Each structure stands twice: as structure tokens, then as C-alpha cells.
Chains A and B, each alone.
Chain A
Amino acid sequence: MSQLGLYATALPGSSSLQGPPSLDEFVDYLISETTDTTSLVAQLKASSIKDTRDSFLTAKLSNGKDPLSVLDPERHTIGYLYILCARLHQNSQVPPSTEAIEEFCRRFNPQHARLLPEKVTTLAKGIVGLARKLENPKLALRPLHGLVTRYPISPAHLTTLHPIFLTLCVATQHFTAALPVLETPITTIDMSLSDLTYNDNLVYHYAGGVALGALKRWREAEEFLEICASSPAQVPAAVQMEASKKLVLIQLILYGKTVPPPKYTNPVLQRLLKSSPYGAFIKSYPQQRSQLLKLIEKDIETFTNEKNLGLVRQTIDRAPRWLIRKLTATYLTMGLADIAKEVGIETDDEVRAIILNMIDSGDINASISADGTVTFADQLPQISKADVDRLLKQAQEQSRMLLEMERSMNSNKDYLNKVSHSSLISVDVNTVMR
């Protein structure tokens, strides 16, 4: 369909118009109240001559005004989006002002925007590109945050915006900015909402894990990295390998040992990990700090290159705590000096500080007497009624969700086809569905 055709059908009374469409007409048309969004999107999509359209979209209005100042981001989301995208294009001579971008991201109409998922992705990438061009990547943070929180149907939906935003947060080290997004775990994926690719899921969870790890929220970081490492893959991706490495280090910080990965994790990853310096490190953890430091000496370069040295150092710093914890299983009482010897720490004071810290954080249950004797007591798990109730509620929620899933699965045509074929019972799927 030609440019002319588009506007001939779209704009009443302009059928006689010759030549390329002008921005004025386009904007006028957008402003006219009668426009139906769905049909507009359909027409815009149908016109495939991108370049010419983009070039006319970057122009100014005939009266010299910026079209963005005429349009309202909330009411004219579609048009605004098109113009922004065109002007954010790599070689664009007239980049939009940051205020306009922020304004749009704060106020756009999510329902309209969802009709154009590719454009939203382009916009997000364009914003990052622009910020980089201005040598101030942080500029992109706020608009992207607006996009990522407002665009998805629910926070549990994954979109292409997620990995872009998270990578930016990690790159600019604004980890806290990512927290509101990371708080809700991703459980839903809707391809009609966003043209996701395989890597988006991996990158989002990897970057999320890195951000949480940097904030020392180990437990959540572990979950994110595990999701990344255990995502379905016939051939594991490099980012999954990196995630596995960080995952085991974080597990050492959290539990003092590694946790076996879920069964569905690609076995190649585990094998590779075992033969890397990380495998050797895990095997000998926890030990006295001096020994661990000696152990990693020759691999320090690898750790540095892979940007994991910080994590490795943190794991080593925590090694004495795991050793002390082991002692509580063996001994009832011990002198501070004895502990220092077993754990490989030079001064009693440092041991005392560590033990006090562990008692405070609830890692161990112990007391130190005046003469430096540490008495370990059993750890009594304190469970209140509220805890049990909370857990019960969670469980009920889960089972309700699962039941719902099962019901929808039972009415899924593909599934029924498969079941009836595999069991060799010729059931007419259509009858079943009716």
C-alpha cells in the first residue's frame, strides 16, 4: 500500500491529496478525536515503507512547532511513540528532548502502547542509545523505569524492557533502582505482549542476580541466578555458565556449601564448572582463610577477568564463620584461643568479634564468659503461630494457582491432541472440547 493510500483511507477528504504525506496532516489526524486506535495501528503497521515515513516523522510542523509539543502523550500515545522512535534513530539529526521522553514514559497510555510491542522495544533501546551518545547513561534510568513498570500487564510479566532496564542498572551501578522491578518474580510470559527472544529471559535474570548480589541480598540473588542457569537449553549459553559460577559463589556465602542444582539444569554446565578453578575452590571450601587464599593464588587472574574476584573474596571472608559453625556441632564449650587455632585466626579479639556477630545475626546460639570460654547451645527454632499461618496461606495460594493451571491445560487443544495420540485412544478432540 502506498503512502497515499494510507492517508486516503484514513483521512476523510484527503483522497485528492497528491505527493507524500506531510507531518502536519498526520498530526492533525492524530489530534482529531474520532480516531479509532486499533484501526490506526493496523494501518500504520500495514504500511511497510519505513524509511520515508521515518524521515517525514522527524520533520517539524509547517508552523515551525515541535510536533511533540502539540501532541499529548496520554491521548496520542501511538503517534507520540512513532515520532519518538523515528527521532531516536541512530542517525537522527533531531533527537527529542529528555523532558519529552520522560514526559512520555510517565504518562503514556499502556493499553495503546501494548498494540505496538516492537515500537516500545525500539524506544527503550533508543533511549539507552541516546543517553550513551550524551555520555550520561544515567539519564535513561528514569524513563526506562517508567516504561518497565507501566508497560506490562502485571509485574509478573516478562517483557523485552526488563533486560534492557536491568542491564542499564547494572552498568551504571544503580542497583537499588532495579529493586522495585526485581521484587516480583517473573512467572508469566506472553509473546503477544512483547517480542521476547531466548536471551531476554537469561539476561534479565542474570543481571537481576548481579544487582541483588551487589546489594548483598544473597537469597534473592541465588534464585535469579539459578533461574538463569537452569533455563531450558539444548546448548547452554555463555551467560548461563557465568550465572552458574556466580551462583555457586553466592551459595557458599549463604550456606557454606553448594546446593545441588535442579535436576533439569543442563549437565554440561555442571561438568564445565567442576573442571574450572571454581570447582577446585568449592571442593576445598570452607577452610582456614590463609589456605583458601593460597589456593586461589594461581587462579586470581581468571577470577579477576571474569569479574568474580570480589565474590570470591567475600566467600573467603566468611569461611571462619562456617568453620565456627562446624565446631558448634562438635563441641559444647571451647576457649577463644582454641577456636582461633582451629579456625586459623591470629587474635582472640577477632574471633570474639566474629562470634558476637554470628550470635547477633542468629547464626549460632552461644555465650562467651568472662574468662574467654565460649559455650555453644543448641539452636532452637522459634516458630510462631503467625509463621505457620503465613505458610499455610502461601500453600493454599499455590495450590489454587496450580489447579487453575491444570484446568486451563485440560482445555488446551495441543495438549489434548498429544494425550489422545500418545495413549492411542482415538478421541475426537472437538467433542471433548465441546
Chain B
Amino acid sequence: MDVDTVDENETPAESQKAAGKKPLSLPVDDAHPLDLDAITSSYTDRSIVERLVHITAACPAVAVQALQLALDQVFKMRDTNLYFSVRSAYEQCQGNSQGQLPPITEIAPLDQKWIDETAAKNAAEKNKLEVELKTYSSNMIKESIRMAHRDLANYYRAVGDQASALKHYTKSREFCTTSHHVLDMCFSIIELLIEHRNYAHMSTYVFKADAALDATASTARPTGPTAPANSSANRVLTEREKVQSKLDAGLGLSHFGQGQYEKAANFFVKVGPIKSLGTWIGTVIAPGDIAVYGTLCALATFPRPQISSQILNNDGFGAFIEQEPYVRELIEAYMSNRFKDVLGILEKYSTRHAVDPHLGAHIQILIKLITNRALVLFFQPFVSIRLERMSTAFGWTVDELEQHVVALIQSGEIKARVDRQNKILKAKETDQRSVLYARVMKSGEHMASANRKLLLRLRLYVQAPLCNSR
């Protein structure tokens, strides 16, 4: 149980470190809207609490409200550690607010009775499940053992003990008799890993699930007689479609969590119709999240034609975008080169992005990538441009823009040079002919000297004592 408390408290701290410049308290006002109701309505159970914990800790403006909502939800659950982490998130925020927020004892006194009751209930159930597992193990009934492990894992998951849950899920694997069971197990593990943001391990289980899926398909086909074979094959296909979306979303999240944005974008845009995510909606991920993650990753890494073909003209992904209308605005602004609007939208929703448990750690990097791309795209058609004009297009000061441009030139993304005295950006012209000549001369000389050295080396080898074999 200790493990869990540490985990809950540390993750936000870590993500703050990763984001570098992320401020301790995020503004929530008209310019930076954050709709708590929308969050509570699009998620369920644990996801709500997790998100609300983040919000409570980071946004003083809505902390009280978020605390109430989170507590409402926690009392419906059975994880006492979660209760404490909600409270500590508020306390942290209150500590940072310099007395502007009421202390926690005033709004939500510690409910010791609930804690004791829940703990007692939990202990009773744990005992019951463990006894069951023992009985089944001694009776050697495979299927029952599997179910006992699974139940125990589900129990641990509910009380927030990730390590034990994972242990029992993996143990249940030994007792799986059909590939369907394996599939179930894999999905449970993936859900668990997503909940705890353990991105690196997710892909393993996605691939295991994929293999299990292949096994189901291949066993299902030959068993059926010839006539209904078609329909069973169809059934298998739709089955696959259903889980495929989950797998894609899982892989997308996994890559996203590890900072591989282009791969992540590729998987996010592949996710099938919203319905196919089934039970994952709300518990693991909201459709709107897929839209936001997918779009941001795509804008940061895809070239323009790919964005239009895979995002704008992709009906499947379009359905997700409908969930978050501002995402469409963002893409349209980007595609029509209104970069000031792009940056404006990103800024407007910065709070919403920063408190997202998956996105929070990456949003600064993504914004930087998108900005860099925008700058490169903007300059592309020009031979020379006044920095002033460029800065108005991006809504920055000239100095800010110059810094960005210089960084891009030095990393080789913009082939241009800055006329610092006159504040002009000029594209580089190269005389290919003379460059070619110079290169030929250089490589010729290089070859000649390499040849000479190799000859000496050859002779050293031929004369055995000269090549040390100590």
C-alpha cells in the first residue's frame, strides 16, 4: 500500500520537472477556460479523481470545487489512499496560495468513519478472495484458479495497489486455457498500466494481445462447418475491429508517453469509430483526448499533406475531433497559415492541457515543435523577409522572434541568415557548381591520403612482427 501513496504523490511532481517551465499554479479564467463539469461528465471512476487531483493541486482558482467533486467520487469508491492523495493535493495547493484558500478542515473534515469502514470492508474481501484462491489452487481447477487470480487482481486495482494487481494478472496468465482469456488478461493489464502511466511496458502487452487475437481468428475459422464459416469469419473480423481500436489507442498512448510523437500520431489517427472503444470510454480515455493527443502530435511531426490526408480528410478521426471543437479550429488555423491563431489557441487551452495526466509532461515540448514547424513553413516561400513582419504574424516581439529563428538556423531547419543590423531574414543562396567542385577536390584529397595510410597499414600487416600481437 505504501508504494501506491508514493506513486500518487510523485507523478505530478515528476511531470512538472519534465515540463521544465511549467508554473506551479495555472490560471483558470475567461482566457484560459477549464470546464470541470465537462471533465466529470466525460470520465468515470478513477479517471475523474486522477484528473481532479491534478487540477486541485495546480489550479487554485477552482481547487475548492475540484476537491468537492473529487471527494464525491472517492466516497463511491474503496481506495482509502486515493482519499488521502486528494486531500494532500488540496493542502499542497492551499500551502502555495498564501492563505487565499480556506484550510481543508473547514470544507472537508477528515472522514475517519468512512476510512475505517472501507478499510474493514476491503480487508474482509481480500481475505475472502485469498481463501478462494487457496481452495482452488489445492483443488487444481485451472479455470477457477484463473478467475480467482483475476478477481484478486481486480480487487487490488480497485484499492489502488498497482504492483499486486499486476502480479496477479500476470499469474492468471499461466492458467489461461483459451486465447480469449489471454486477450482479457492483456486488456486488463493495459488498462492498469495506462491508469498508472507506465508507458514503457504497454507495448509488450499490446503485442501479446495482438498475438492472442491472431490465435482466436485462426482457431475460430477451421472449427466452423463450411456454410456458417463466412458469418463466423465476419464475426471474428468485427471482434478484431473492436479490439483493434483499443490496441491502437493503447499503442498510441504508449508511444506518446515515451515522447515518440510521430508514431503516436500514426496510431491515434488509426483508431476506429468511437463506439469500438467500448468500455474504455471514460474509464481509460475520453474520445476528446484522442482528438487532442492525435492532433497535437500530428501538427508537431507530420508534413502538411499528411495532416490534410490523415486528419482533415479522415472521417474516422473527424468523429473524435467533433468531441473537442477547438481542435478543428486549431488545425484549420494551422493549415491556412494563421499561426498567431494557432499559438493563441494553444495558449488559451494551456491550462486544460497542462492538467491532463497524459499530456501535461509533453505539452511544452509539443508547443515548441509546433512553433518551430510553423516558423519553417512561414518562411519557406520567401527569399527575404523583414523580421518585423514575421513577428506580427506570430504575435511576438522582434527580439523573441529573432531568438527563435536563430535557434532554428543553428539546428539547420531554416536555410537562411539573419541580417541583424537591418532586421531582415534572408534565404541562403548556394552556388551548386562551385560547391560541387570544392567537394570533389576535398574528397579527392581525402581519398589520396586515406589510400596512402592504408598502404602503410597493409605493409605493416604483411610484415608480421610490426603488427603487435602481444
Binding site for B on A (CB under 8 A): 185-189, 191, 196-198, 200-201, 223, 226-227, 230-235, 237, 262, 264, 326, 329-335, 338, 373, 376, 378, 380-381, 383, 387-388, 391, 394-395, 398, 401-402, 405
- Are B448 and A338 touching (Cβ within 8 A)? no
19 contacts between A and B (CB under 8 A): A186-B456, A191-B463, A196-B465, A197-B465, A197-B466, A227-B453, A227-B456, A233-B467, A329-B410, A330-B410, A330-B417, A330-B418, A332-B418, A333-B419, A334-B421, A373-B421, A378-B428, A395-B448, A405-B455
State whether B466 touches A198 (Cβ < 8 A).
yes
Q: Which residues of A contact B466 (CB under 8 A)?
A: 189, 196-198, 200-201
Q: Are A394 and B448 in contact (CB under 8 A)?
A: yes
CA distance A197 to B463 in the complex (A): 10
Which residues of A lie under 8 Å from residue B429 when comparing CB positions? 378
- In the assembled complex, B409 has its CB within 8 A of some CB on chain A: yes
Q: Report B-chain residues with C-beta under 8 Å of the C-beta of A402.
A: 451
Question: Which A residues touch B470, using CB under 8 A?
Answer: 234-235
B459 in contact (CB, < 8 A):
yes
Which residue of chain A has the shortest Cβ distance to B450 in the bound complex? Answer: A262
What's the least CB distance linking B106 to chain A, in Å?
Answer: 53
Q: In chain B, what residue has the closest Cβ to A196?
A: B466
Assembly CA distance A376 to B417 (angstroms): 10
Q: Is the interface of B mostly helix, strand, loop or mixed?
A: helix
Contacts of A191 in B (CB 8 A): 463, 465
Contact of B452 among A187, A326, A334, A405 (CB under 8 A): A187
The docked-state distance in angstroms from the alpha carbon of A184 to that of B395 is: 63
Contacts of B459 in A (CB 8 A): 187-189
| Contact assessment for B467 and A331 in the assembled complex, using a CB-CB cutoff below 8 Å | no
Asked whether B426 lies within 8 Å of A332 as measured between CB atoms, the reply is yes
* Contact of B431 with A by CB under 8 A: yes
A330 touching B456 by the CB < 8 A rule?
no
Across the interface, name the chain A residue whose C-beta is closest to B439: A381
| In the complex, per-residue mask of B433-470: 1 if CB is within 8 Å of any chain A CB, else 0 | 01101100100110111111101110111110111111
Given known A-B contacts A381-B437, A395-B444, A198 and B421 have beta carbons under 8 A apart? no
Question: Could you say which residues of chain A place their CB within 8 Å of the CB of B424?
Answer: 332
The docked-state distance in angstroms from the alpha carbon of A432 to that of B435 is: 49
- The answer to whether A330 touches B463 (Cβ under 8 A) is no
Q: Which residue of A lies closest to B431 (CB)?
A: A380
A291 to chain B, nearest CB (A): 18
Q: How far is the CB of A78 from chain B (nearest CB, A)?
A: 26
Q: Is B422 an interface residue (CB 8 A)?
A: yes
User: Which of the residues A333, A388, A395 comes within 8 Å of B421, measured between beta carbons?
Assistant: A333
Q: Would A196 and B463 count as touching, CB distance under 8 A?
A: yes
Q: Which residues of A contact B409 (CB under 8 A)?
A: 329-330
Residue of B420, B457, B459, B470 with most chain A CB atoms under a 10 A cut-off: B420
Interface residue tally on B, bucketed by range: 35 or more
A232 CA to B456 CA, complexed, in Å = 10
Which chain B residues have a beta carbon within 8 Å of chain A's beta carbons? Answer: 406, 409-410, 417-422, 424, 426, 428-431, 434-435, 437-438, 441, 444-445, 447-453, 455-457, 459-463, 465-470
Q: How far is the CA of A332 from the CA of B402 in the complex (A)?
A: 13
Q: Which residues of B contact A235 (CB under 8 A)?
A: 468, 470
Bound Cα distance from A284 to B397, whole angstroms: 31
Taking a contact as CB atoms under 8 Å apart, the answer to whether B410 and A326 are in contact is yes
B461 contact set on A, CB distance < 8 A: 232
Chain B positions within 8 Å of A234 at CB level: 468-470
For residue B440, give the distance in angstroms from its CB to the closest CB of chain A.
8
Q: List chain A residues, Cβ under 8 A from B451.
A: 398, 402
Q: How far is the CA of A89 from the CA of B294 in the complex (A)?
A: 85
Closest to B405 in A: A330
A335 touches B441 (CB 8 A): no
Expressed in whole angstroms, the Cα–Cα distance for A264 and B455 within the complex equals 13
* Cβ–Cβ contact A231 & B457, under 8 A: yes
With A189-B460, A201-B460 known to touch, is A383 a contact of B434 (CB < 8 Å)?
yes
The docked-state distance in angstroms from the alpha carbon of A230 to that of B445 is 19
Nearest Cβ in chain A — how far from B454, in angstroms?
8
5 new A-B contacts at CB < 8 Å, known A231-B460, A231-B467: A187-B455, A198-B467, A227-B453, A233-B467, A237-B468
Chain A contacts of B468 at CB under 8 A?
198, 232-235, 237
Q: How far is the CA of A213 from the CA of B453 in the complex (A)?
A: 19
Query: Nearest CB to that of A395 among chain B residues?
Result: B444
Residues in B with CB closer than 8 Å to A383 are 434, 437-438, 441
Interface contact B449-A223, CB-CB below 8 Å? yes
Distance of A381 Cα from B442 Cα, bound (Å): 11
Nearest residue in B to A405 (C-beta to C-beta)? B455
**Chain A residues whose C-beta falls within 8 Å of the C-beta of B418 in the assembled complex:** 330-332
| A95, B466: Cα distance in complex, Å | 33
Which residues does chain B contribute within 8 Å of A223, judged by CB atoms?
Answer: 449, 453
Residues of B within 8 A of A326 (CB): 410
Whether the pair A333, B457 counts as a contact (CB closer than 8 A) is no
Query: Once the chains bind, are B457 and A232 in contact (CB under 8 Å)?
Result: yes
Q: In the bound complex, what is the Cα–Cα distance between A402 and B455 (angstroms)? A: 9
Cβ of A334: which chain B residues have Cβ within 8 Å of it? Answer: 420-421
Q: How far is the CB of A178 from chain B (nearest CB, A)?
A: 18
User: Which of chain A's residues have a CB closer than 8 A to the CB of B460?
Assistant: 189, 201, 231-232
CB distance from A161 to the nearest CB of B (A): 16
- Tell me the minimal C-beta distance from A309 to chain B in angstroms: 29
Question: B409 to nearest A CB, angstroms?
Answer: 5
A165–B449 alpha-carbon span in the complex (Å): 25
Q: How far is the CA of A153 from the CA of B265 in the complex (A)?
A: 69
B406 to chain A, nearest CB (A): 6
With a cutoff of 8 Å between Cβ atoms, the chain A residues found around residue B426 in the complex are: 332
Partner of A226 from B445, B453, B462, B463 at Cβ < 8 Å: B453
Q: Which residues of A contact B428 (CB under 8 A)?
A: 378
CA A330 – CA B417 in complex, angstroms?
5
- B60 smallest CB distance to A (angstroms): 40
A-B pairs, top 5 by smallest CB distance, nearest first, are A381-B438, A332-B419, A232-B467, A189-B459, A333-B421
A197 to B464, CA, bound (A): 10
Which residues of B have CB within 8 Å of A200? 466
